Amino acid sequence: ATPMSIMTATGRGASAGVLIKDAEALERFSKVDILVVDKTGTLTEGRPSLTDLVAPDGDEDAVLSAAASLERGSEHPLAEAILSGARERGLTLADADDFDSVTGRGVKGTVGGKSVLLGNREMLEAAGVDPSPLDGDAERLQGEGKTAMYVAIDGEAAGLIAVADRIKETTKGAIEALHESGMRIVMATGDNERTAHAVAKELGIDEVRAGLSPEDKQALVEELRQGGGTVAVAGDGINDAPALAAADVGIAMGTGADVAVESAGMTLVKGDLQAIVRARHLAEATIANIK
């Protein structure tokens, strides 16, 4: 009866939008007691939109057009927000040279002969640029749950671009249901501490780890497993791939361009957390049947 019920379960899973790799993944998932979730694109819509511009020298458009010109080379959800913000303001964009992206940090390049950096605080620091003149404004925006990106032009902190990303409608209910099925929920995000805590508080998330690189996310998963947990990781991006691979069960969310499907034991077609609740109930029912 074992292979049969697994087949039935994977078939039912597929019709519920959950693609399960094999019987082992399903069985391991029934035992998961810690779920690590990425924030952007997993808890939230992943389609942030521009909310605030800060330019201490007064030229907001210069900050936004430099940033948007760079982001034409990026597929990150934050890039889309910046590009549509620039479009709405009718800004003309330039070509960027020497484009480079640092996963989990930001992007850089040369725009109109000027070197431009865009991303989190660490993105500037790593290039030897002092981000501190912008910290006060960044902290205010983050306290409102917004993601504030730093912009540097020619080695000077030039401004901030803030975006906000709506929490998916199904997220809060799914977290309650996962709590009821005995899971602890840990948010692991590359975004900063303040923004992460504002979102986590709204959702009743148990623990927050912010400012993480893809390798930090992976190390967190290893640490939780060594502590005796059975750990699932849900993420949507290329930056989540190492953590997914390190988990007992990796869960790839949605069908985005950079979905980390290869390292996943499960793939959620629609990519919202409610599908994890359905997968959990299915896994529990199947395993109970086999025993």
**Neighbouring residues of 205: CB distance < 8 A, sequence distance ≥ 6:** 37, 175, 185, 186, 187, 199
Residues in the chain: 291
Provide the β-strand partners of residue 187: 37, 208
Cα(151)–Cα(156) distance, rounded to whole angstroms? 9
CB of 274 to ligand ADP, least distance (A): 19
The closest residue (CB) to ligand ADP is 190
CB of 244 to ligand ADP, least distance (A): 13
**CB atoms near residue 205 (< 10 Å):** 22
Q: Which is nearer to Mg ion, 6 or 210 (CB)?
A: 210
The answer to whether residue 38 is catalytic is yes
- Partner that binds at residue 231, options Mg ion, ligand ADP, none, CB closer than 5 to 8 Å by kind: none
Q: Is 83 within 8 Å of 68 (Cβ atoms)? A: yes
The span from the CA of 26 to the CA of 147, in Å, is 35
Contact set with ligand ADP (CB under 6 A): 38-41, 71, 74, 76, 78-79, 104-107, 118-120, 147, 149, 189-191, 237, 239
Q: Of 22, 33, 38, 52, which one is the catalytic site residue?
A: 38
Cβ closer to Mg ion: 32 or 234? 234
> Pick from ligand ADP, Mg ion, none: which does 190 bind, CB < 5 to 8 A by kind?
ligand ADP
Options 109-117, 231-239, 257-265, 266-274: segment touching Mg ion (CB under 5 A): 231-239
Rounded to 5°, angle at Cα 197 from 128 and 280: 120
Instruction: Looking at residues 29 to 88 of the shown chain, list those that interact with Mg ion (rule: CB under 5 A).
Output: 38, 40-41
Catalytic machinery residues: 38
